[in-house]
Amino acid sequence: MNRTPLIAGNWKMFKTGDEAVATAERLAELSRDVENTEIMIAPTFLSLPLVADAVKGTKIKTGAQNLFYENQGAYTGEVSGEMIKAAGAQYVIIGHSERRQYFMETDDSVNKKIKAAIEADLIPVLCIGETKTQRDEEKAFFILDKQLKDGLKGFHSDELKNLIIAYEPVWAIGTGLTATPDQVNEIHQFIRSVIRTIFEASFSDAVRILYGGSVKPDNVSGLMKLKDVDGALVGGASLDADTFIKIVKFN
């Protein structure tokens, strides 16, 4: 199955508008010769329209790091899918472990957010992953199965045509610890097999599964060689364009 790799940068709560635009412009310049790999960066909400504007007509696509599931209304501090789309973004990250950990996101809110993303014509990047304790207690497969089944509950595969899944073991995020290729391979195969039980085989073969958690220029090629790894969701190493481009050009 030929799945186009996607290398995505999650800038989290870093960079002012000016800094974000400068990094995006540098990345656009460095990625001019990139073929057959999609590139996405997710700046903060405030920087998103500026960055989307700065990368128009280049190889770079943009995404938001979160959205709220209502379209508009009295929800102080929230941003809707429609607003993200209007800002020029194509993607939205949903259910990142930091959202689950610090902002009480649940599989249920993740499910609603995926629906809202689809309605706004945004590509959802569904993040799943087990914590260190869950892995130590041998509950990783159970947790991932639940996150997938509850997060994707009630959808028809047609609605999720562009869905992207990001497997990010929580213990590997920002810690410098990367899951070994064997661990990643095992989990990615498992994720694809769960997707096959929810939707049809052709959908499960086509869905792109990214790995995230301390991806760096020196470990990306080993990860990208794995059959079921279709890209990377990169935090820390995406903040600097000259570093991130080495991940984008993983071959």
Contacts with ligand PGA by CB under 6 A lie at 10, 168, 173-174, 212-215, 233-237
Distance CA(251)–CA(249), nearest Å, equals: 6
Catalytic option among 96, 98, 105, 188: 96
Q: State the residue number with the nearest CB to ligand PGA.
A: 235
Q: Point out which residues pair with 60 in neighbouring strands.
A: 39
Q: In whole angstroms, how close is the CB of 245 to ligand PGA at the nearest point?
A: 15
Contact 4/31 with Cβ under 8 angstroms?
no
Active site residue 96: yes
Q: In whole angstroms, how close is the CB of 46 to ligand PGA at the nearest point?
A: 19
Q: In whole angstroms, how close is the CB of 73 to ligand PGA at the nearest point?
A: 29
CA 41 to chain centre: 10
SS3 5: coil
Q: Point out which residues pair with 61 in neighbouring strands.
A: 40
Nearer to ligand PGA, 64 or 237 (CB): 237
Active site residue 130: no
Query: Over the range 36-50, which residues count as b (16 or more CB within 10 Å of their CB) and which as e?
Result: ebbbbbbbbbebbbb
Nearer to ligand PGA, 111 or 214 (CB): 214
Beta-carbon contacts of 55 under 8 Å, excluding residues fewer than 6 positions away, are 24, 25, 27, 28, 41, 61, 62
Nearer to ligand PGA, 84 or 215 (CB): 215
50: left (phi over 0), alpha (psi -120 to 50) or beta: alpha
Nearer to ligand PGA, 85 or 96 (CB): 96
Output phi, psi for 92, to 5 deg.
Answer: -145, 130
Nearer to ligand PGA, 116 or 239 (CB): 239
Distance CA(238)–CA(26), nearest Å, equals: 12
Q: In whole angstroms, how close is the CB of 196 to ligand PGA at the nearest point?
A: 25
Q: Which amino acid is at 158?
A: D
Nearer to ligand PGA, 100 or 192 (CB): 100
Catalytic option among 105, 130, 168, 188: 168
Distance CA(161)–CA(26), nearest Å, equals: 31
Helix (H) or strand (E) holding 134: helix 132-136
Q: In whole angstroms, how close is the CB of 166 to ligand PGA at the nearest point?
A: 7
Q: In whole angstroms, how close is the CB of 122 to ligand PGA at the nearest point?
A: 18
Q: Which amino acid is at 191?
A: I
Q: Which residues are catalytic?
A: 96, 168
